[in-house]
Amino acid sequence: MTKVPWVETLRQRLFATWWDTAITLVCLYIVWRISVPLFHWLLLDANWSGTSREDCKSPGACWVFVRMRFGQFMYGQYPVPERWRVDLVGILLVMSVAALSWRRSLVIPALIVLPPLGVWLLHGGWGTGLRVVETREWGGLMLTLFLAIYAGLIAIPLGILLALGRRSRLPLIRFASVVFIEFWRGVPIITVIFLASLLLPLIMPTGFDVDRLARAVIGLAFVIAAYMAEAVRGGLQALPEGQTEAAQALGLGYWRIQRLIVLPQALRIALPAMTNEFIALFKNTTLVLIVSIFDLLGIAQAALADPAWVGMNMEAYVFAGAIYWFACFGLSQWSRLREKRLQVAHGR
């Protein structure tokens, strides 16, 4: 009897004894019982065409709801004729990420130019000749990405500086960094967002108004920066002290040592932890719902209040959940790819 390799593997791993066989069969049965109705609900019995809940006649999911609301899920209340601006910013983002991965020297200029350009395009006004779209009209996935990216853009550099500050030999800088990190790490994000959006207007002089969304971004960024700082510090501590000493012996100054020797290695070590923090940040953006900023989850929930679509809870949450999952999964895959490349570079 010829042995087919994969059959043999299956037999060894799953059906080696009668006990193994029983467990395998029970597990298979459970998977079958869950996945078949799920598959039916999600796809086979789902409703795809039509324009209202009346068109959802079969027992499965009513994806008509998601289709009719798709624009809002992606852009919130961003005016329809202006949505190309969001698309343009999205394309610029993808292109710049792609460009930056083969031209490292562009990173710093890109980081200085692109983020303000993005805000400028999305918001309009300020001499663009574009219609002003207030941040209250922003929403959906676009807002979720905006919050995560901009909070990340502030949090990562700030986190690195804080991590260096915490290991600084100057007591004042070290003390300030420790206080900042411990304060923001100790406060729940939901409290920070709430305070940023409600307490600030009460204590600020009237007429001096910081945008609601900007307050949320800054609040999120500070908390995440504190976490990032600890992730980076982990990387810094993994480096042998000898490296810094050797660099000092060569006559390099503090900033050149950090930039050329310490940080490239420390960040490589800290990358998985930093990615972890960023994924946490991405999911924590949903907390802005408490101050009525409609991110993807918020807009999905708000859609459920429309009597035309009342009761579509499953569809709304499954759709929002799927997008979050794909985004987070994509991020972790990207991070693993970076890690591998960096490993190769390290090995050389």
Give me the residues that bind another protein (CB under 8 A), please: 68-69, 72, 77, 136, 194, 197-199, 201-202, 206, 289-292, 294, 298, 301-308, 310-311
Minimal distance, residue 73 CB to another protein, in Å: 11
For residue 62, what are the β-bridge partners?
47
- Measured CA to CA in angstroms, residue 303 lies from 296, 315, 320 at distances of 11, 11, 12
- C-alpha angle 170/174/175, rounded to 5°? 115
Q: Cα–Cα distance between 242 and 312 in angstroms, integer?
A: 61
Nearer to another protein, 269 or 288 (CB): 288
CA distance 344 to 338: 10
Nearer to another protein, 176 or 289 (CB): 289
Kindly state the tokens that stand for 88: 């343009």
For the bound state, the minimum distance from the C-beta of residue 221 to another protein, rounded and expressed in Å, comes to 21
Minimum separation from the CB atom of position 39 to another protein (A):
23
d(CA 200, CA 210): 9
Q: Specify the residue, 277 or 295, whose C-beta has the smaller distance to another protein.
A: 295
The residue among 7 and 202 lying less far from another protein, judged by its C-beta, is 202
CB of 299 to another protein, least distance (A): 9
Joined tokens for residue 142:
């676009």
State in angstroms the smallest separation of the CB of 12 from another protein: 45
Residue 236, both tokens: 């810094």
Element (H, E) at 19: helix 18-39
Q: Considering beta carbons, is residue 311 or 321 the nearer one to another protein?
A: 311
H/E stretch holding 44: none
If the CB atoms of residues 170 and 305 are measured against another protein, the closer one turns out to be 305
Taking the least distance from each CB to another protein, the nearer of 118 and 298 is 298
- Contact between 261 and 243 (Cβ < 8 Å): yes
Show the DSSP H helices in 250-295 as ranges: 254-256, 263-284
Residue with smaller CB distance to another protein, 79 or 157? 79
Q: How far is the CB of 42 from another protein (least distance, A)?
A: 21
Q: How far is the CB of 347 from another protein (least distance, A)?
A: 52
- Residues in Cβ contact with 106 at an 8 Å cutoff, skipping those fewer than 6 apart: 99, 100
CB contact burial 92-102 (16+ within 10 A = b; e otherwise): eeeebeeeeee
| Shortest Å, Cβ 61 to another protein | 15
Q: Which is nearer to another protein, 127 or 207 (CB)?
A: 207
Give dist(CA 96, CA 90) in Å, integer: 10
Widest CA span in the chain = 87
CB 225 within 8 A of CB 162: yes
What is the three-class DSSP state of 138?
Answer: strand
**Whole-number minimum distance, CB 330 to another protein, in Å?**
28
